[in-house]
Structure 1
Amino acid sequence: MHIKICGITTLEAAQAACDAGADMLGFVFAQSKRKITPEQAKAIIEKIPAHVKKTGVFVNEELDIIEETVRTAGLDYVQLHGDESAAFAQKITVPVIKAFGIENKSDLNKASMFETDFYLFDSPKGKYRGGNGTSFDWAVLEENDFPKDKTILAGGLTPENVKEAILRVRPVAVDVSSGVETNGIKDRAKIILFIEEAKLAFQQLEESDRHGSICTAR
């Protein structure tokens, strides 16, 4: 069970997330208001705990540039948020998270045909691929047998709804960016509350699995 804080652009935000118990941090190298350079990411990554995994977000980027960024910044994962093929993903030398915008079950069917380490399910693309602060109908993920141990849930998550989202979808991880911001800046208080709520939900899932009971937020 993991919690990823994405769209990190400052050391202060990274430290706040790590101090609150985040398992992963995301750095955006694609066109976005949260875009960061590999050198800027490296300067942050060098100052945060090694056990916190670092993910780079890319959109339809060239393989050579992705690999160079992995080396420069010191990334543990690559998150592909564009139209990349499964064959392209398999060429990347670190584990891959492939993002899919979800509107209906047909989008989930597309994902099931894509071989990757993890599947990130997000809201449909807006101005940017991801990080738009909108959610989708979680029922699409509830009513299927997609492998939960490879499912990362994103899209419109906030401290107020993350617990319900986890209990309904049962993902292995959740990913948040704008949901822990105030006026476009990472908010320490929101990060702390989000992580607290997510950890409570994951703990509740583990307890329900141990006791064989069904856990629901409804």
Structure 2
Amino acid sequence: MVPKIKLCGIRTLEEINIINNFPIDYVGFVFAPSKRQISTNHFASLKDSLRKDIKTVGVFVNESISTINYIVDKYGLDLVQLHGNETEDYCRCIIAPLWKSISVKSMESVNVLNSYKSPIGFLLDTYSPTSRGGTGETFNWNLVKGISNTHNIILAGGLNEHNVCSAIKTVKPQVIDVSSGIEKDNTKNQQLIDKFIGRVMANDIK
């Protein structure tokens, strides 16, 4: 099965115009402090130009519940992606379908996802003591081998055209999430997107 594709960290109209030409399913917009952060007003203008069948995902880190729900309600986010220390009680208060990020360091960290019931999916990302995603580094995929049999898995963490086939074969995620792996000079690059999607869609992924 070919996984769905999410491109994350979109910031400009030029990037929107590029990704509108590709068969992707989700686009991530970062509202948390980071080099890819955008404002809600900027998001609204980008969303207006986004192809209508592509779902929007808002990325937040330890944001207040009221702020997230306000943005979801006013700006029409399709999904919420939580990258902080949000608890199950917190997750239950979010009005949009959500993905909870799990930073994978060991089997113990992977088992944390069993304490959650509200998320419709779990985004598995590389652990970093200084960053919440977007590190450009991979983790040991064997730690999560088979987990997609029982959970809806979004695989992130250092994916690019060179390793995405191995990642898919090992983890068998429902969704592939990429950001830095399709960037050149800190912007999304059409050629890298084309190569990445080509590898994901390749017939040799089983």
Q: Please give the TM-score of this superposition, normalised by the length of structure 2.
A: 0.93
Corresponding letter in the other structure for 1:43: S
The answer (yes or no) to whether the contact 1:122–1:136 under 8 Å persists in 2 is yes
What displacement does 1:68 show? 1.5
Aligned to 1:106: 108
Summarize the alignment of residues 49-68 of structure 1 with structure 2, pairs less than 5 Å apart.
49-68=51-70
Q: Tell me the secondary structure at the aligned position of residue 122 of structure 1.
A: strand
Q: Does 1:92 align with 2:94?
A: yes
Residues 29 and 56 of structure 1 are in contact (CA less than 8 Å); yes or no, is this contact kept in structure 2? Answer: yes
Q: What is the aligned counterpart of 2:36 among 34, 37, 40?
A: 34
Structure 1 128/191 Cα, relative in aligned 2: closer, same or farther at 3 Å? same
Match of 1:132 in 2: 135
Amino acid in the other structure paired with 1:3: I
3-state secondary structure, aligned to 2:21: helix
Counterpart CA distance in 2 for 1:40 and 1:163 is 34
Structural RMSD (CA): 1.5
SS in 1 for 2:17: helix
Once the two structures are superposed, the pairs formed by residues 1-218 of structure 1 within 5 Å of their partners are 1-115=3-117, 116-142=119-145, 144-147=146-149, 150-200=152-202, 204-205=205-206
Q: Tell me the distance in 2 between the aligned counterparts of 1:97 and 1:25.
A: 13
Contact 2:122 2:151 in 1 (8 A): no
CA distance in 1 between partners of 2:189 and 2:176 (Å): 18
Runs of 4+ in 1 over 6 A off after TM superposition: none
Percent identity of the aligned residues? Answer: 34
**CA distance 1:157–1:44, shift in 2 (3 Å):** same
CA-CA distance at 1:164 after TM superposition: 1.1
The C-alpha deviation readout for 1:14-58, integer Å capped at 9, x for no partner, is 222231211100000001000001110110111112210000000
Give 1:12 deviation, angstroms.
1.6
Question: How far did residue 126 of structure 1 move?
Answer: 4.6
Matched residue pairs, number?
203
How much has 1:145 moved relative to structure 2? Answer: 4.2
Is the 2:148–2:172 contact (alpha carbons within 8 Å) kept by the matching residues of 1?
Answer: no
Question: What is the CA–CA distance in structure 2 between the aligned matches of 1:146 and 1:191, rounded to whole Å?
Answer: 25
Given that 2:80 and 2:96 are in contact with CA atoms closer than 8 Å, whether structure 1 keeps it comes out as: yes
3-state SS, counterpart of residue 36 of structure 1: coil
When structure 1 is superposed on structure 2, of 11-20 and 175-184 the one drifting more is: 11-20
Deviation at 1:73, TM superposition (A): 2.9
Per-residue CA deviation, residues 92-144 of structure 1 (Å, 9 max, x unaligned), is 111100001001100111112212110000000353300111110000011x4
Q: Offset of 1:175 from its aligned partner?
A: 0.4
Query: What SS is found at the alignment partner of 2:113?
Result: helix
- Tell me, yes or no, if the aligned pair for 1:180 and 1:191 is still in contact at 8 Å: yes
Deviation at 1:65, TM superposition (A): 0.7
Q: CA separation in 2, counterparts of 1:126 and 1:200? A: 35
Residue 28 of structure 1 aligns to which amino acid in structure 2?
V
| Runs of at least 5 residues in structure 1 that lack an aligned partner in the other structure | 206-218
Q: Which amino acid aligns with 2:89?
A: A
